[in-house]
Structure 1
Amino acid sequence: MLLGVIADDFTGASDIANTIAKGLPGQGGLRTVQYLGIPAAAADPDIEAGVIALKSRSIDAAQAVRQSLEALKWLIDQGCKQIVFKYCSTFDSTPAGNIGPVAEALAEALGVKGVVACPAFPGAGRTVYQGHLFVKDRLLNESGLENHPLNPMTDADIRRWLRRQTVSDVGHVDITTVQSGSSAIEGALLRHGEENHALVIVDAITDDDLVAIGKAVVDHRLVTGGSGIAIGLSANFIARGLAKGEGSMTVGIDGPEAILAGSCSGATRQQVEVHKKDHPTLAIDVAGVMGGRVATSDLTSFLLANQGRAPLVYSSGTPDEVRAIQARFGREKVAEALDTLFADTARQLVDAGIRRLVVAGGETSGAVVSALDLGALAIGPEIDPGVPVLLSKGDKPVALALKSGNFGASDFFVKALERLAGR
């Protein structure tokens, strides 16, 4: 294995796995597999990139560090020459959150400084300019992410945000340096390392900027960022003759389908509204879930009764609705109850013969795939930017799409079901 990735959630893991498998146009990517948690056995020797999906974004920071260091050890044991710590392109993390502690712990374990920290993903509208994170034309804290139910982002200055989480100071490489080329970037990172900066925010506003950053870190043991940071990494291994550029395989499974949406992001809410115009949908009564009046059987019965019609169940709500429910029952209790509901529903659906499953929301996806215990997932074609087809093996193969809340076009759900079937 050449490249190892530690991702802090399951949708982010499939996002960066997709980026690595695609590689650069005309060059191809690496043969990539996504692991749901830290594998118990060694990797297949044919795998060139392994992405370990953890559910560590919103847990206690010390626990996230322990899990990430365990993942690092497994990846190093597989022979990885470079490690990527992947977090969300909207930098989902509270001031007491996990991005800084995990990144610093990995840097210390590998004995490196001057490590890139770049959440930019221009294809999804995430850019970094003068150390500030933008979502399209809005600062992060004015983009709707300030209303995130678990990790509200109230400051777009990610140097300042990250500094609250770290021991050492945080460096910055500005866009002028980035657009001067990979040699200039490499020199700037070296200087920050000499100044004892473990982490360095690097500006990026285009894919070309990310490719330049990728070339600059060709010999770096550790890189951190959103999935966009991996755009140029596959090319480094191909250029050195270590990989052939075969990338993703074409996969698809046709069969019964279901859609589960637990994200409350604006994009997912719009996708739900578009989908419900022509397909059966069921809104989950969250208060009913908390009061024991809504059970897993209610969801599975609805989904199984509407096979062939792309049925959807969702808990998505507006920021005001989410705040009201959290105030009434408690944020953690609501999150735990919904994760359990979606996990149990997915398990029953697969047991009942569902073979195409679309899941919206990082936390929801983590709960679902953990419950299904699918093992390694092959990476297939891209559905929308950042969201590939995933295929499990075994006696009951399942085709999956795990969508981060803010990703995907308005018609994503129907498009995803078609791609999962190989169409």
Structure 2
Amino acid sequence: MFLGVIADDFTGASDIANTIAKGLPGQAALATSQYMGIPDKPARPEVEAGVISLKSRTIPPAEAVSQSLAALDWLKAQGCTQFVFKYCSTFDSTKEGNIGPVAEALAERLGVKGVVVCPVFPTAGRTLYQGHLFVKDRLLSESGMQHHPLTPMTDPDIRRWLGYQSKSPVGLVALPTVRQGSAAVRAALLAAAHEGQTLVVVDAVLDEDLLTIGTACAEAALVTGGSGIALGLAANFVAQGAAKGKSAGFTGKAGPEAILAGSCSGATWEQIQVHSKDHPVLAIDVEKALLGTTSAGDLADFLTANRGKEPLVYSSGTPERVVATQAKYGRERVAAALDELFAQTARELVGRGVKRLVVAGGETSGAVAQALDLGDLLVGPEVDPGVPVLLSRDKDLVIALKSGNFGGPDFFAKALRTMGGA
């Protein structure tokens, strides 16, 4: 294994695993596996890039640091020479962390400064200019992310937001420097390191900018960012003769299907409305779930009764409804109860023979993936940008883990078709 990735949630891990395994047209890719948590055994010998999925985005910063360092140690033991800390392309975090504390801890363990911070994914409309993060044509703070129930992003200035979380000054490499080429970016990062800046925000608005940054980071021990930051990294290993740049095949899997949607994002809410026009859907009554009068068995019964019709259950709602529910019962209580409900439902479904499972929402995906103990996952074809199909090598199951904001309006039906090999 050459490239090791530590992702702070499960959908983000799938996102960057997809980037590394697929590559850009004409660019090299690496044989990639995704791991649900830190493995307790060595990686398979054919794996060139390993992506460890953690559920560390919203836990206390000290716990996130501890888990991330343990993941780093495992990846180092597999032979990795370069590491990526992957977080969301909308920089999901609070003023306290966890992105800054984890990134600085990894940098300290590796003995490096001048580390790239680039939460950019142009294909999904995430771009960075003068240190400010945009979602399509809107600043991050006006994109809907300001209403996120766990990590509301109210400031688009990533350098300033990261500054709240970091012990050392945060630098900036602006777009004009990036457009001068990889040598200019490398020089700017070295200068930042000499000035004592551990983390450096680097602008990018196009895939070509990410490729420039990737070339500049060919010798970097640590890189941080969204999935786009990995676009240019695989080619470095192939050019050096270290990796063969191959990927395993995926032929599809048939069998019973189910969709679980726990995301509160506007994109997922729209996808649910589209899916409900032609498929059976069931809304979870959050109050009943909190009181225990709606069980995992109830949800599994609905999904089982509608096999073959692409059934979906969801806890999503409008931003106003989500805020009202959290105000009444408490944000942490609601999140924990729904995560456990979805996790138990997933276990029930697999026990009943479900072979294709689609999950929407980062926290929901993490809860489900941990509950199912999926082990080593083969990265299959892409459903929509940033969302691949994953085949569990240990379980007879194909799964897709979707970040809330990702995917087109018909994502759910498309995901099930892709799982089947279409």
CA offset at residue 23 of structure 1? 1.8
The residue aligned with 2:136 is: 136
CA offset at residue 293 of structure 1? 1.8
**Amino acid of the residue matched to residue 68 of structure 2?**
S
Distance 2:17 2:162 in 1: 25
The residue aligned with 1:159 is: 159
CA offset at residue 248 of structure 1? 4.7
Contact 1:251 1:391 in 2 (8 A): no
The residue aligned with 2:409 is: 410
Higher mean displacement: 291-300 or 263-272: 291-300
**Amino acid of the residue matched to residue 397 of structure 1?**
D
Distance 1:112 1:339 in 2: 37
Would you say how many aligned residue pairs link Structure 1 and Structure 2? Answer: 422
Alignment of structure 1 residues 356-375 onto 2, 5 Å = 356-375=356-375
CA 1:68–1:280 in structure 2 vs 1: closer, same or farther (change >3 Å)?
same
**Amino acid of the residue matched to residue 181 of structure 2?**
G
- 2:256 counterpart of 1:295: no
Segments of 5+ residues of structure 2 without an aligned counterpart are: none
**Amino acid of the residue matched to residue 74 of structure 1?**
W
CA offset at residue 245 of structure 1? 1.9
**Amino acid of the residue matched to residue 103 of structure 1?**
A
Alignment of structure 1 residues 369-384 onto 2, 5 Å = 369-384=369-384
The residue aligned with 2:44 is: 44
**Amino acid of the residue matched to residue 333 of structure 1?**
R
Distance 2:414 2:178 in 1: 36
SS of the counterpart of 1:55?
coil
Alignment of structure 1 residues 196-215 onto 2, 5 Å = 196-215=196-215
Higher mean displacement: 10-19 or 240-249: 240-249
Distance 2:24 2:278 in 1: 37
Give CA deviations for 1:384-411 in whole Å, capped at 9, x if unaligned. 00000100023x4100110000000000
Distance 1:174 1:102 in 2: 24
Contact 1:30 1:248 in 2 (8 A): no
The residue aligned with 1:97 is: 97
Distance 1:273 1:71 in 2: 38
Give CA deviations for 1:236-281 in whole Å, capped at 9, x if unaligned. 1111111122135224211000000000101000000000000000
SS of the counterpart of 1:301?
helix
Alignment of structure 1 residues 115-130 onto 2, 5 Å = 115-130=115-130
**Amino acid of the residue matched to residue 46 of structure 1?**
E
Higher mean displacement: 17-26 or 82-91: 17-26
Distance 1:298 1:65 in 2: 38
Give 4+ residue runs of structure 1 displaced > 4 Å after superposition: none
**Amino acid of the residue matched to residue 126 of structure 1?**
R
The residue aligned with 1:106 is: 106
SS of the counterpart of 2:223?
strand
Alignment of structure 1 residues 12-411 onto 2, 5 Å = 12-394=12-394, 396-411=395-410
Segments of 5+ residues of structure 1 without an aligned counterpart are: none
CA offset at residue 291 of structure 1? 1.8
SS of the counterpart of 1:120?
coil
CA offset at residue 41 of structure 1? 0.7
Higher mean displacement: 234-243 or 341-350: 234-243
Contact 1:140 1:154 in 2 (8 A): yes
SS of the counterpart of 1:332?
helix
**Amino acid of the residue matched to residue 422 of structure 1?**
G
Give CA deviations for 1:16-64 in whole Å, capped at 9, x if unaligned. 0000011231233000000000000111111100000000000000000
Contact 1:61 1:98 in 2 (8 A): yes
**Amino acid of the residue matched to residue 297 of structure 1?**
G
Give CA deviations for 1:184-223 in whole Å, capped at 9, x if unaligned. 1000000000000000000000000000000000000000
Contact 1:392 1:399 in 2 (8 A): yes
Contact 1:146 1:152 in 2 (8 A): yes
Contact 1:18 1:387 in 2 (8 A): yes
Contact 1:255 1:356 in 2 (8 A): yes
Distance 1:408 1:74 in 2: 32
Distance 2:273 2:234 in 1: 38
CA offset at residue 120 of structure 1? 0.5
Percent of residue pairs bearing the same amino acid type: 67
Distance 1:34 1:393 in 2: 11
Give CA deviations for 1:310-363 in whole Å, capped at 9, x if unaligned. 000000011111111111111100000000000000000001000000000000
Distance 1:139 1:307 in 2: 41
Distance 1:218 1:28 in 2: 14
Distance 2:249 2:155 in 1: 40
**Amino acid of the residue matched to residue 10 of structure 2?**
F
**Amino acid of the residue matched to residue 398 of structure 1?**
L
Distance 2:415 2:399 in 1: 9
Per the normalisation by structure 2, the TM-score is 0.99
SS of the counterpart of 1:134?
strand
**Amino acid of the residue matched to residue 125 of structure 2?**
G
Distance 1:125 1:186 in 2: 26
Per the normalisation by structure 1, the TM-score is 0.99
Higher mean displacement: 213-222 or 289-298: 289-298
Contact 1:35 1:51 in 2 (8 A): yes
CA 1:248–1:131 in structure 2 vs 1: closer, same or farther (change >3 Å)?
farther
**Amino acid of the residue matched to residue 177 of structure 1?**
T
SS of the counterpart of 1:357?
strand
